[in-house]
Chain A
Amino acid sequence: MSKPKDPSAPAAPSLSSRRWWQTLDEVDGAPAACGDEFPDGPPLTIGMRAPATETRRDFFKLMGLSATAAMAACRRAPEQKILPFTTKPDELIPGVASWYATACGGCDAHCGLLVKTRDGRPIKVEGNPAHPVSRGAVCAVGQASLLGLYDGDRSRAPRLAGQTDSWTHVDEKVRAGLVAAREAGKAIRVVVPWGIGRTEQAALSRLAADYGDVEVVRFDTMGEREAMADAYQALTGTRLLPEFRLDDADVIVGVAADFLGTWLAPGPLARQYAAARDADVRGRMARHVQLESTLTITGAAADARHALSPSQIVPALAALVRALMDGATGPAVALARRALGVLPTSQTPSFVEALARELRAAGPRGVVLCGGDDRRAQTLAALANALLGNHETAAILATPAFTLPETTRATLHAELREGRVGALLFAGVNPLLSDPELAAALDRVPLTVSTADRLDETAVRCGIHAPEGHAMEAWLDHAPRTGVETMGQPTVAPLFDTRPRLASWLAWQEQGQGKGRGQDAFGFLQARWQREHLADAGLALQDHWDNIVREGYFVAAPADAQPIPLTADGERLAAWLAATPATPASALELVLHESVGLRDGTHANNGWLQELPDPITKLTWGNVAALAPSRARDLGLSDGDVVELATSAGKVRLPVLAQPGVAPNVVAVAVGHGRAAARAGAIAGGHGADAFPLASGQAAGARFAGVAVSLTATGTQQPLALSQTHGSQEGRELVREVALGQALAATGEALPGHGKARNGEATPAAPKERHGNGLWAEHPYPGHRWGLAVDLAKCTGCAACVVSCNAENNIPIVGELEVRRRREMHWLRIDRYYAGTADDPEVVHQPMMCQHCENAPCETVCPVLATVHSGEGLNQQIYNRCVGTRYCANNCPTKVRRFNWFDYPHGDPVQRMVLNPDVVVRSRGVMEKCSMCVQRIEEARAQANREARPLADGDIRTACQQSCPTQAITFGDLNDPASAASRLRESGRAYHILEELNVKSQIAYLARVKNRGEHG
């Protein structure tokens, strides 16, 4: 074990010279971690391999393994057939990709996507840069939703009472049930996700018209939107959701809201956040303060972070509101006074004063984002925003009004208890996963229907299962913001016998009387659009429509939503607040939170997301009970010790992880793991533990944060599948940081302690013979010289790039056991280091991919020339030449090379369809690594050639770059001084990792920038 480097170093504003603390629990050497269990053949994985490679490899094996190979080598390879279309669709050219603009189905944000299809199958998801809300951002979940399309565990047919059946029967049964409910005067309730589009609302209103007492319940698993809507109802009388716009903010205060990772619309918010904090462009940088109970990537990105237990959140917010009140005007002041009146007051936390000062200074440019399902906290946050006056500015706006008759989950529970519900329809949502109480009440409902895409916890308890398939198979529009609609068009015909939800709603209208019956989903949707948007358009309808579908979105005037007027009556507000359940303090408070990958568990069967290392814990394939390191020490627990967590609601067994940044009296557990294979799918089964049973039973109020929990050690150990086990940089200058002042000062020339990213060249782009610090003349790169610039000031570690890379490059999924053996295959990983103290850490992220070194250590040592340098500065890996000595990987200073330890088998023919046909599928025994998306480079070059024009900057965007929500990654030609990448390398913040080795990395990192505000 090494000691931290030089504790007495002066506290210069550069991470490198800050004191580094030792890693928490060095898993190295512990038998659990290095998995000495005997690997019995290839692990169960869904790694992907093209079918054709099999024969060829056997052929070569035969060749090499016996002297008869001589003969074998001369044999003709087995015959292949070509099966052309009998009648080729005109728009389809085999081998040419077509792109469709559509909407993401990954979460309720429904960002704009561009989906790349080859020969009729979607093979890649990219952000739609033109989309006004998401602006090209796609998160990890959005990227992985592609694999969800090819999830073989989705339902392949509708079910009646558990038995697969025909759609006609299903429809008859549903209609009959609905009629019965109406006749019996019972209520019909539809549980829908938040943010369902206008067309779907219209379809549901048709049902309402037909069947009388139809009300919808908007459901989100973690109850955050619900709580927020309740709060705003109390304040404004309408159940609206605020829509945040951070681009212009100066002070951003996050309260238990992981808005860069999981909260509301992480993609778009991250994009706005990056814009607000882009000092180079804005000349100033929004300051971000985060109050949270467990460490999230949002907290990691913050300039200042305060760890509070859930029970401390409301007092802190109350103190903040109180501090904001003086000097403020408007209706908010009175309301705030009433609200504070009924809330238990405690002593003001020390940091609140300074925070309030900063917020007041920012005024309308200050924003408070509050997460969690504690209505009191949500109300206070709303009041704080009102006091800042940003309800009148662009900082907070109302999301589009919801047109359907609506009721709350609490009411639904009551109705169910009273047996007033005659029909309960679940629109794809899965409440039973998190709400056992609902399950109990379900049996008394005559008609229960779920449109979930698989037989999940809810669908299995419903009489009828009408699977809705995947978002990429359906026409559906969404309204992410007032005045903006996203058009979701199908990119592939349904793989299975499923039917889009919209079609089901329409099919379930009462038959046989009057207008608009039997209309198909597309016709219905198009009709609505023509009615609402296209009627007044000057253009020819068809052109206009085609245009919208091509663009994937539509902006109706006015583009901006209404401000939020606070119209509530103080008395009623106070009464309501007093009635809402408080979050009590307890010795150990439980925080159940969504993880960046699986979110609420909807994506549990997605291998890419299961194997995606959590940006903070670096854990894959499961969840842990995260404790503050000091707390874990006191309890005598070390990583991997299995403990039993018990709340009033239930018990769960989980391994412990000492996680820096978790509040001292908090146990944080990610939900969405541990779903049964039968419910979520084969991949989800057997990994992690389901934490929902720990949620407090109450129907409303704080169910997931602040639950009193007890923790008892079981004495057993469970190895954790961590992709990174060492948290300290050991004082090595890997991730560098500069203070905001320096960053602004540095225009062009290098900052103290920052070598300019020039690899010792006279100019970065001199194509002629260059002499570096080397002994010999360097190879010239006369044409292009490709490189990347990675801005650590922008990177939030959200890992969207990692999944994007998986999808683009056919990277296999190796499974939990193999990750435990440290054999994950990711070409692009995100290194996470800690600074500061174990209980109040600072976190830095560093995307680490092949550095494409000009003096690449890996190339020199390969005996068979399987990895050599291209004429354009790329470090090429030629899989079919590789014999697998692994010498290159050993000699790689950044350890980015990945070896195929087994043939990662791919049983499932459905899943195989996700493979990118432009990238070869690697066989067992070969080395692989980041190619800087060379297939995209070649594609763009060929395109340019055909159009007889030179390649332009921006023609090529690597997979990681394209979907980065914060645009932290820039690809470009380093020989072109004007290219974005070259300009970034000229920045004073630019440096190369391990520059002292003179390997001449083609990847430049830009030092992280922190806005330490008044005390920084």
Chain B
Amino acid sequence: MAEHQQGSDGADGHAALPALSPLRQPLVTAPRTLAAITDDIVGPMNRRPTWKWGAAFAVAVSLLLIGVGNVTYEILTGIGTWGLNRTVGWAFDITNFVFWVGIGHAGTLISAILFLFRQKWRTSINRSAEAMTLFAVMCAGVFPLIHMGRPWLAYFVFPYPNTRGSLWVNFRSPLLWDVFAISTYFTVSAVFWYVGLIPDLATVRDRATGLKRRVFGWMSFGWTGSARVWSRYETLYMLLAGLATPLVLSVHTIVSMDFATSVIPGWHTTIFPPYFVAGAVFSGFAMVLTLMIVARKVMGFEHLITLRHLENMAKIIIVTGGIVGLAYGTEFFVAWYSGSAYERFTFINRATGPFAWAYWTMVSCNVISPQLLWFKRLRTSPAALFVLSLVINVGMWFERFVIIVTSLHRDFLPSSWGSYAPTRVEVCTMLGSFGLFFTLFLLFVRVLPAISIGEVKAVLGFARAAGAGHGAPAPARQEAAE
């Protein structure tokens, strides 16, 4: 019976859907049984890793090791091993920090905001997007720590009772806000991610045997799929999504305040929070895109992560890219309009000074290149999207570099004007962070269900409720049952 149903459904499902809602591509173009979906997602975890995965993992790990080596050297020798100087006190370190925090944004944003807006298409990508968030925040977190002159005293930034009469911390410092923002963001995202993972862990448990079963049994908290728990679970998930959404916005707002609250021309500006958030979403989605396009190829998820997912993300990139472009323009206008000679100089210097090359790289990557996405052919071509997403990530990295370095290297007193050039250690440290990120991500797609089984099944339900939309699926059932 099951076979028959599947057959028929499969047939008219494919035929019917376009007719029913011509505007809608199917969310999931999978063979239509729940078991099949479980197989598709859990399957890769049981198969031996493909050579592609192995190669990717090898590269990632070696990058990670390079990074670890250089960071160790830096911590043992001194920040002097970086190219910084008395004028430019931050460069690669904080650039990478902001870059990774930015990457870390799309994850929770996709999950939370799209969940709240009931955007069903999120289901195939939210799991890995959230994982990406966690790993990116880890990478980000490393930089504030190693950029300290005395990282072994980093615990000073926590307000713990001490013997210094109690000397607390400076709650007025944006850096301290960062400490709280980043750790909160990491914790909440982790909880959100793990809560979403539990039912799927149970699924894996119930198909596994031996040690694996015990491990996943431990990890899945004894989940039985009870409907009572499910309904409570839905509430919790909704709450977490509701909490995560403003959190996502607050984190990059606070990161932007590292600059906005300072006096340095080019930093001291009020448009930074929205500007940074947009930028973060922009870069975040680009990174999700990069990862998804790779993942669906390598893990064979083409039918779960469909062109429609890619296209939707491309659209969001156009929008956020536009916002970022607008911000660039606004900065210049305000610099001129403010009448502050320092502001004006800073921005003229940005576009024409020693670091003009970085500025124009940024503009062409972030403002010009996304305009190609107005063409549907490009929006729906994974190859093109892949290239574009990489370009955008390069551009967003340069955005942070431009903001930090060009503002610092020529500020108020011309006597102190200087320059900056990275050293090998800094470059290797940055590579290391990419190594860390991809190592974690590749492990993730191997050992955990990279796509939310439960949610995809739920969506499948709607997909199968041919045409009747989200409403009561019952009538559709009868038809199908005939």
A residues neighboring B (CB under 8 Å): 1-2, 5, 23, 26-31, 33-36, 38-39, 41-43, 60-65, 724-732, 734, 818, 821-824, 829, 831-833, 846, 848, 857, 860-865, 881-887, 889-891, 893-895, 897-903, 923-927, 994, 997, 999
**Complex contacts, B423 vs chain A, CB 8 Å:** 36, 38-39
Given the contacts A28-B419, A38-B423, A884-B149, A901 and B262 also touching, CB distance less than 8 Å: no
| In the complex, B411 has a CB within 8 A of chain A | yes
B173 touches A860 (CB 8 A): yes
- Cβ–Cβ contact A865 & B153, under 8 A: no
B179 in the interface (beta carbon within 8 A): yes
Q: Is there an interface contact between A994 and B412, defined as CB atoms closer than 8 Å?
A: yes
Kindly list chain B residues whose C-beta atoms are within 8 Å of the C-beta of A901: 78-80, 84
A926–B148 Cα gap in the complex (Å)? 9
Distance between Cα atoms of A887 and B421 in the complex (Å): 19
Chain B positions 401-423 with a Cβ under 8 Å from a chain A Cβ: 408-423
Instruction: Tell yes or no: B424 within 8 A of A by CB.
Output: yes
The residue from B77, B83, B89, B413 contacting A890, defined by CB atoms under 8 A apart: B89
The reply to whether B175 and A903 form a contact with Cβ atoms under 8 Å apart is no
The answer on a CB contact under 8 Å between A29 and B419 is yes
Q: Please judge, given known A-B contacts A36-B423, A884-B149, whether A822 and B86 are in contact too, CB under 8 Å.
A: yes
Contacts of B155 in A (CB 8 A): 64
Known: A860-B170, A893-B264. 17 other contacts (CB 8 A): A1-B353, A36-B83, A41-B78, A60-B152, A63-B152, A730-B345, A822-B418, A860-B261, A883-B149, A884-B149, A884-B150, A885-B144, A887-B175, A889-B86, A891-B262, A897-B86, A925-B149
Supposing A64-B154, A833-B414, A924-B78 touch, asked if A997 and B84 sit within 8 A by C-beta, the answer is: no
Query: Chain B residues with Cβ under 8 A from A60's Cβ?
Result: 150, 152-153
A900 to B150, CA, bound (A): 10
- In the bound complex, do residue B149 and residue A730 qualify as a contact, i.e. CB atoms below 8 Å apart? no
Interface of chain A, helix or strand or loop or mixed?
Answer: loop
A-B contact pairs, 21 of them (CB 8 A): A2-B349, A23-B414, A29-B354, A29-B355, A31-B421, A38-B424, A42-B77, A64-B152, A724-B416, A732-B413, A823-B85, A863-B170, A864-B156, A885-B147, A894-B412, A895-B412, A895-B416, A901-B78, A925-B79, A926-B149, A997-B263
Q: Are B157 and A883 in contact (CB under 8 A)?
A: yes
Check if A61 sits within 8 Å of B152, measured CB to CB: yes
Report chain B residues within 8 Å CB of A924.
78, 149-150
Kindly list the 3 A-B residue pairs having the minimum CB-CB distance in the complex, ordered from nearest: A884-B149, A925-B149, A64-B152
Q: From residue B190, how far is it (CB to closest CB) to chain A in Å?
A: 21
Judge whether A726 and B414 touch: CB under 8 Å: yes
B62: CB under 8 A from chain A?
no
Q: Judge whether B176 and A893 touch: CB under 8 Å.
A: no
- Asked whether B169 lies within 8 Å of A863 as measured between CB atoms, the reply is yes
> For A882, what are the chain B residues with a Cβ–Cβ distance below 8 Å?
149-150
How distant is A712 from chain B, measured CB to nearest CB, in Å? 30
Q: Which residues of A contact B409 (CB under 8 A)?
A: 28
Asked whether, in the complex, the Cβ of A889 is within 8 Å of the Cβ of B150, the reply is no
Contact B148 A885 (CB under 8 A): yes
A568 to chain B, nearest CB (A): 51
User: Closest CB-CB distance, B50 to chain A, in whole Å?
Assistant: 38
Which B residues from 271 to 301 make CB contacts under 8 A with A? none
Of the candidates A29, A864, A894, the one having the most CB atoms from chain B within 10 angstroms of its own CB is A864
The answer for the CA separation of A186 and B342 in the assembled complex, in Å, is 74
Interchain nearest-CB distance for A308 vs B (Å): 29
Q: Which residues of B lie under 8 Å from residue A2 when comparing CB positions?
A: 345, 348-349
Contact of A899 among B79, B157, B411, B412 (CB under 8 A): B79
Contact with A along B76-115 (1 / 0, CB 8 A): 0111110111110110000000000000000000000000
Q: Name the A residues within 8 Å of B149 (CB-CB).
A: 882-886, 899-900, 924-927
B352 lies within 8 A of chain A by Cβ: yes
**Complex-state Cα separation, A902 to B151, whole angstroms:** 14
> A31, A821, A863: which contacts B173 (Cβ < 8 A)?
A863
Determine if B139 is an interface residue (Cβ-Cβ < 8 Å): no
Give residues in B with beta carbon < 8 Å to A: 77-81, 83-87, 89-90, 144, 147-157, 167-170, 172-176, 179, 258, 261-264, 341-342, 345, 348-349, 352-355, 408-425
- Which residue of chain B has the shortest Cβ distance to A926 in the bound complex? B149
Is B421 in contact with A36, judged by CB distance below 8 angstroms?
yes
Q: How far is the CB of A29 from chain B (nearest CB, A)?
A: 3
Q: How far is the CA of A897 from the CA of B354 in the complex (A)?
A: 24
**By the criterion CB–CB under 8 Å, are B263 and A725 in contact?**
no
Question: For A31, A39, A725, A894, which residue has the most chain B Cβ atoms within 10 angstroms?
Answer: A39
- Which residues from A are CB-within-8-Å of B419? 27-30, 33-34, 822
User: Is B263 touching A865 in the complex (CB atoms < 8 A)?
Assistant: no
Given the complex, which residues of A lie within 8 Å of B147, measured CB to CB? Answer: 885-886
Does B78 lie within 8 Å of A865, measured CB to CB? no
Q: How far is the CA of A60 from the CA of B84 in the complex (A)?
A: 25
Residue of A nearest to B409 (CB): A28
Of the candidates B78, B157, B172, the one whose C-beta lies within 8 Å of that of A860 is: B172
Question: A residues within 8 A CB of B176?
Answer: 863
Q: Is the CB of A926 within 8 A of B414?
A: no
Query: Considering the chains assembled together, what is the distance between the CA atoms of A884 and B175 in angstroms?
Result: 12
On whether the beta carbons of A831 and B413 are closer than 8 Å, the reply is: yes
Question: Which chain B residues lie closer than 8 Å to A894 at the CB level?
Answer: 412-413, 416
Cα of A848 to Cα of B417 in the assembled complex, Å: 14
Are A823 and B262 in contact, CB atoms less than 8 angstroms apart?
no
Q: Kindly provide the distance from the CB of B263 to the nearest chain A CB, expressed in whole angstroms.
A: 5
Closest chain B residue, CB of each to CB of A993: B413
| Partner among B80, B81, B261, B413 whose Cβ is within 8 Å of the Cβ of A848 | B413
Q: When chains A and B are docked, how far (Å) is the Cα of A884 from the Cα of B74?
A: 14
* A38 to B424 CA separation, bound complex (whole angstroms): 6
Q: Is B415 in contact with A831, judged by CB distance below 8 angstroms?
A: yes
> Which B residues lie within 8 Å of A729 (CB)?
414
A865 touches B168 (CB 8 A): yes
Chain A residues with Cβ under 8 A from B414's Cβ? 23, 726-730, 732, 734, 833
CA–CA, A924 to B76, complex, Å? Answer: 10
Q: Is the CB of B264 within 8 A of A890?
A: yes
Chain A proximity of B429: nearest CB distance (Å)? 13
Which B residues lie within 8 Å of A898 (CB)?
A: 86
Q: In whole angstroms, how far apart are the Cα atoms of A395 and B66 in the complex?
A: 72
- Is A889 a contact of B89 with CB atoms below 8 Å? yes
Report if A822-B87 is in contact (Cβ < 8 Å); known contacts: A64-B155, A865-B167, A884-B148. Answer: yes
Centre residue among A34, A36, A897 by max chain B CB count within 10 A: A34
B150 surroundings in chain A (CB, below 8 A):
60, 64, 882-884, 923-926
Say whether, besides A28-B418, A64-B153, A861 and B341 are in contact (CB < 8 Å).
no
Q: How far is the CB of B206 from chain A (nearest CB, A)?
A: 37
Contact B153 A861 (CB under 8 A): no
Complex Cα distance A36/B81, Å? 11
Q: Is the pair A902, B262 in contact by a Cβ cutoff of 8 Å? A: no
Known A5-B341, A893-B412: A886·B81 in contact at CB below 8 Å: no
Residue picked from A41, A65, A729, A863, most chain B C-beta under 10 Å? A863
Are A857 and B263 touching (Cβ within 8 A)?
yes
Is B349 a contact partner of A890 (Cβ separation < 8 A)? Answer: no
Which of A731, A884, A923 has its CB near the most chain B CB atoms (within 10 A)?
Answer: A884
A676 to chain B, nearest CB (A): 29
* Distance (whole angstroms) from the CB of B410 to the closest CB of chain A: 8
From B173, which residue of chain A is reached at the shortest CB distance?
A863
Chain B residue at smallest Cβ distance from A725:
B417
Using CB atoms, name the residue of chain A closest to B408.
A890
Residues of chain A within 8 A of B153, CB atoms compared: 60, 64, 883
Residue of B nearest to A734 (CB): B413
Whether the pair B86, A42 counts as a contact (CB closer than 8 A) is no
Q: Is the CB of A732 within 8 A of B412?
A: yes
Measured CA separation A33–B87 after assembly (Å) = 14
In the complex the two chains form, is A42's CB within 8 Å of B170's CB? no
- A801–chain B nearest beta-carbon distance, Å: 16
CB of B139, distance to nearest CB on chain A (Å): 19
Rounded to whole angstroms, the CA-CA distance of A38 and B80 in the bound complex is 10
Report the bound CA distance from A882 to B156 in whole Å: 9
Contact assessment for A885 and B80 in the assembled complex, using a CB-CB cutoff below 8 Å? no
Closest chain B residue to A27, Cβ basis: B419
